[in-house]
């Protein structure tokens, strides 16, 4: 069984309800056991998005070998929410990103460089809307030899997109 961190985002429709539904659907994937959740963060879009995003992350364990199958399941969930891949950084009903993973037998970082899948996610260290949710889950989490907390602290002001903590992935309230 391996441990993975999944980024979840949306800027269209009922954003918070969509994030919560995606977490429920991830929990229903064969072999997945949910772990910890981050807070939900409202962020300004990078690039051409037309409205603020909600972003969060979830830790999960996956009993089926290889991250490729988990990614396939995530893409099915995205499509079920009407996700269309038209433009990079554009508006999206739901975005699920496999951010990083660790082998549970020795806690080593899972490295992948495959068509359509790179682990850890290649732009993870430059995105506060990814790093802050990971820090929420585990402040000591290390990616490529650096803690997510250190990566977040090193971002320049002009690279920051976080607007405010918006709520929780748990049901109820904002």
Which residues are tagged catalytic?
A: 83, 92, 95, 97
Non-local CB neighbours of 152 within 8 Å, separated by 6+ positions: 128, 131, 132, 135
Non-local CB neighbours of 140 within 8 Å, separated by 6+ positions: 147, 149
Residues in the chain: 174
Question: In 44-82, which ranges are E strands?
Answer: 53-62
């Amino acid at each position: 069984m391996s441990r993975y961190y999944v980024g979840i985002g949306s800027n269209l429709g009922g954003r918070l309800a969509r994030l919560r539904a995606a977490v429920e659907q991830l929990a229903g994937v064969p072999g997945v056991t949910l772990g910890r959740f981050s807070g939900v963060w409202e962020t300004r879009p990078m690039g051409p998005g037309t409205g603020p995003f909600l972003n969060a992350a979830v830790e999960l364990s996956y009993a089926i070998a290889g991250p490729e199958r988990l990614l396939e399941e995530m893409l099915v969930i995205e499509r079920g929410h009407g996700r269309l891949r038209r433009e990079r950084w554009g508006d999206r009903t739901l975005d699920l990103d496999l951010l990083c993973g660790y082998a549970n037998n020795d806690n080593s970082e899972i490295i992948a460089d495959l068509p359509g899948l790179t682990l850890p996610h290649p732009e993870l260290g430059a995105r506060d809307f990814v790093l802050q949710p990971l820090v929420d889950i585990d402040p000591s989490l290390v990616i490529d030899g650096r803690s997510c907390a250190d990566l977040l602290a090193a971002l320049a002001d002009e690279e920051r997109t976080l607007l405010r903590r918006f709520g929780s992935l748990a049901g109820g309230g904002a």
